[in-house]
Amino acid sequence: MSGSIVHEGTLSAAAQRVAIVAARFNDEIVSQLITGALSAHRKAGGKSADVEVVRVPGAFELPVAARRLAFAGQFTAIVALGCVVRGDTPHFDFVAGECARGLMQVALDTGVPVIFGVLTTETFEQAQERASVTRMNKGGESMHAALEMASLLTRW
């Protein structure tokens, strides 16, 4: 990359207004993801007034809420949080796949970064591990991605 210009975002929450849209289904897990995301925002210098949390019934409803928030023009990034655990039927595949596709479509249609912080796990135990506020919290990681993308995209 010698001689190339490299652009990267920063993890600063300054001047970033972020929406967290979160599913209520599997709330024990999703609440921990929200806690991790809010903590990451605060540690990055953010103010609580610069984050709005919107709750929806489940992961399948995340894209439509994210779309409305993105088109509102008030947010520099959106973090979508949820938890879908595989069961005995193909329902998991439909919900997880359409949620991911829908959230990506919102980002592409609006230019607002929409971060996929939806856990898709084989077991509830795997979800608990990924949502732990004392270990690896994917909500916090998702907020980091949102802040980085928001700061990066403001350059153009």
Q: What is the pLDDT of residues 5-58, one digit of tens each?
A: 999 999 999 989 999 999 999 999 999 999 999 999 999 999 999 999 999 999
User: How many C-beta atoms lie closer than 10 Å to residue 122's C-beta?
Assistant: 10
135, pLDDT greater than 90: no
CATH superfamily, with its number, for domain 18-150 = Lumazine/riboflavin synthase (3.40.50.960)
91 is an active site residue: yes
Give the three-state DSSP class for 51: strand
**What pLDDT was estimated at residue 136?**
85
pTM: 0.95
CB 22 within 8 A of CB 81: yes
Q: What is the CB-side half-sphere exposure of residue 90 using CA atoms within 13 A?
A: 3
Domain borders along the chain are: 18-150
142 vs 106: CA distance, rounded Å: 16
17 vs 4: CA distance, rounded Å: 31
Catalytic, out of 7, 41, 91, 144 = 91
Give the three-state DSSP class for 85: strand
